[in-house]
Structure 1
């Protein structure tokens, strides 16, 4: 059997209905910045250009509900929380309207909500526009309840006319008076019922920008705003004044210059009670155009205000909202075999863990692209999948993804290079965004005490010196020496998927059998085949020299059938036949898997072997993509045969290998037989067990192998998988989904029998 590597995250099999289960927070008082947040249903919190309103002992977060394809108004979302960390989706408090300023194909931004002390009514404000931003105005909506649904009332009027400006914010002073803040420094005092603008108290504060936010502390008013750089981040600025009418003085930036406000744009300032004093929380957005719905994130940080000085002195990736202090979590020291640094679409890494919350640490930069991060449960179902943005104009290393905490069990995080990048243009046509597709995962942070258990059992690096030879979770290795290139190539099953649910194959190259280079994904079932989408297992390959050059025929298990793909190079690209070469016959066998292909130098023929619970052989036709059905023969060795046939020729003898027991069993191991023919019969030596576990070294489950002869010599090596060391055995059955590939010397006795292989570290 074969495995694949993904990131298992949610224990789906424990629940009948996923939507009915609550997701546990990583910590009920810790805010994690710059990462996707998940609500109580494991959906991404989608609320941007946001504000928070505290009402009747709960917090309500309002924001733009963004799409992933186009900048268009869908609705304004409302979430509720009791702790500012764990959020419950209430509803679209104001959905798209049938027509008008917030109708189809319109823009709605910068939603803000305040409660009128005079009427007790909740009033929502927003910037409405067409998609070309040529019809700006401030609109408003009202509701008797804070979570809506709100009724859109039309434009907010000042002196009988709509306020035709774009980026806007709101501010409610200590006495309850409401104000409307506009880009470039216009400030309006609202009427008592908040349904109109009564006075323009300030006009055009010099040096102010867009996306305004305000708060009042210690006799000083602070006005925050952003430069005009489209969706790009910039060094936001602030002004101060002794009264809201001014005079306003530009003070400069409030985050360290060059950090681009810690890669964010200001949206709101929310006062938070911390003990006996009031603290102020900066709320900013990390936009991610065009994938705003999935990949845009939030940055919430404490503000330090005193007199005319305002600052966010340092960036806190995580901080406790009850103490307003940073939370420092332990870096694991992720092994190199679990890191990902690639710009090739489809490259991936998988990190299994036990459900405790983990944080992925990576580097964003000007060349960063999107990663697809998936959460797969023990049952093999993908329970959550979304894009994470690795772009930032200023390079930054930190948290890129934080998992929710789920019940203890076997999970995997799967991180894949999506091959997409954030790119957009402003009204003038200037290009913004990423220059490449890089995704860089560098480490893991343990976000809870139980995560230490996950690290010990799943992630700690092994003490191996020589094995495994390729980094990561792989199994069922096939090895080839290519005459065309003079190199060796490894073709493993990509491992780590529960129940072997993977769907892609990789290839690695080496000139010396020791140092292996990842050549990337060479066959993706969901991209390259029409007849299968999962269970990509146990490949084999052969090089055939033709009159026009070399051809490479790659046979593989997929959806419990055997397929074949063809290429001109050992690394591909491979073109699938379009149908199985050995289709699954459900009337006679449960699955047709584990192919092996051999060239017989004695007859000049090519043979295909396969089977699970049985060993079949058939001669291949000249085209190598079909078999001679009349040559099918069954060669199953008695009692010990399970799967993984492999056949080699040496000194006029044919050596048939196979694996015994279940691949999830620590006693998975390799036996062999000898024959005078590539089609049998088999002669089984009295002592035919050549590879088995070594408990003194913590080696378990070695098997499903291939064999390679160093060209021009009688030097042989066996390439096999085993449970990942040092702790996979403690994972139970999951050890059979988390394996690593090793290479050891295989030697023959003078009588032609094979010596017992000593597995090494």
Structure 2
């Protein structure tokens, strides 16, 4: 099948006819080719212990039709201690190109069995690899580091690392010259106290000299309301602009979680919000309450109680056991970002074209 439009939430197949597996990922544009990479969830089923099967990458010239370029960071199947072991919770690969070192630098979030989270860093000479691991178990500033995004200042070449200090706040850190570690300077933002209000899944972009972040709340794979914020400088202060998803009564960001904001290099003002629909069957399982927002309100309350110490251990385990979700069938919701002045907003479209 050849595509000539985006169809948010519908099954999206590669040029071989297989479902695309690039979750929690990003797009990078190199020499006229778009590369889309992300978590390969093809083997992740509710009845096994496989969280990921490496990082898979696709290439395209039109953003609609994607050729499978293979697994660029392979799972390590013979070493349970490796951060790339399939049962390790490896999430949200982000790749930068360093013009000084001529290296592609990939950061991965790894969630350990004890709940702590750290980073693995790899480098390569080409976007498609091979990648060499240069750091594992890396804890910037000795912080448990969760969902994140990486960005580069086009003028200075300095890179920045936005990450959730787990269940606490969002950190903006300056990277060192190699992009493989943090520098001395960082700042703290969005101190919302506890899930579900702590901001995670930061997605950064710039427009007209303004800096933007769109983040999600913290409710596991269950979607929640997004929040946009704007600043004049990398380290803020950040002004909260509210949920950019217009007319979303479900309070679920159109049943999705944004992983990346991609600026089309050949269009003057086209920003695409790339999001994962982790639970495509959610409207069926939650019924009418999904559409009214009642279902999300229950999830919000359960997380609020859980992280306030109200829920007992058994309830907590049941509420947060998202490893049982079938993310192998997760889909994608790509929508254009529009603007009223400096304020971004996203409207639902069943189908749209560049």
How far apart are 1:96 and its partner, in Å?
A: 1.4
Range that drifts further, 112-121 or 100-109: 100-109
Structure-2 change in CA distance of 1:26 and 1:158 (3 Å): closer
Could you tell me whether the CA contact under 8 Å between 2:190 and 2:199 is conserved in 1?
A: no
The residue number in structure 2 matching 1:110 is 92
Alignment of 1:26 with 2:3, yes or no, is: yes
Q: 1:235 aligns with which of 221, 225, 228?
A: 225
**Aligned-partner SS, 2:146:** coil
Indicate yes or no: 2:331 matched with 1:297. yes
8 Å contact kept, 2:3–2:65: no
1:79 pairs with 2:58 = yes
Deviations 1:579-608 (A, max 9, x none): xxxxxxxxxxxxxxxxxxxxxxxxxxxxxx
After TM superposition, the runs of 4+ consecutive aligned structure 1 residues lying more than 6 A away are none
Indicate the residue corresponding to 2:300 in structure 1: none
Displacement of 1:297? 0.5
Distance 2:150 2:338 in 1: 21
Structure 1 residues 104, 158: closer, same or farther in 2, change over 3 A?
closer
- Identify which of 1, 12, 31 aligns with 1:56: 31
Please, what TM-score do these two structures have when normalized by structure 1? 0.37
Match of 1:124 in 2: 106
Q: TM-score, normalised by structure 2?
A: 0.77
2: CA distance, partners of 1:206 / 1:308: 24
Q: Secondary structure at the match of 1:119?
A: coil
Q: Which residue of 2 aligns with 1:96?
A: 75
Change (3 A) 1:199 1:35: farther
Cα 1:232/1:71, change in 2 over 3 Å: farther
Name the CA distance, whole Å, in 1 between partners of 2:241 and 2:2.
Answer: 39
Whichever structure has more strand as a proportion of its residues is 1
1:270 maps to: 262
Query: 2: distance between equivalents of 1:152 and 1:113?
Result: 13
Q: How far is the alpha carbon of 1:61 from its aligned partner?
A: 0.7
Q: Residues 239-259 of structure 1: CA distance to partner in whole angstroms, max 9, x if unpaired? A: 111111111121211112434
Distance 2:341 2:124 in 1: 37
Which stretch shows the higher mean deviation, 220-229 or 93-102? 93-102
Name the residue aligned to 1:530: none
Confirm or deny: 8 A CA contact 1:186 1:200 kept in the other structure: no
Kindly indicate whether the alpha-carbon contact (under 8 Å) linking 1:106 and 1:128 is maintained by their aligned counterparts in 2.
Answer: yes
Distance in 2 of aligned mates of 1:281 and 1:158: 31
Q: What's the CA shift string for 1:155-197, capped at 9, x where partnerless?
A: 38577x6652121122223323221111231011111211111
Which residue in the other structure is 1:226 paired with? 216
Equivalent runs, 1:5-44 vs 2, <5 Å: 24-27=1-4, 30-44=5-19
Which residue does 2:272 correspond to in 1?
Answer: 281
Post-superposition shift, 1:291? 2.0
Structure 2 vs 1, CA of residues 206 and 307 (structure 1 numbering), >3 Å: closer, same or farther?
farther
1:318 aligns with 2:351: yes
Aligned runs of 1:179-258 on 2, under 5 Å?
179-183=160-164, 184-207=169-192, 209-256=199-246, 257-258=248-249
Alignment check: 8 A CA contact 1:156 1:195 kept: no
1:68 to 19, 42, 45: 45
- Per the TM alignment, residue 73 of structure 1 is displaced from its structure 2 partner at its CA by 2.9
Shift of 1:71: 5.3
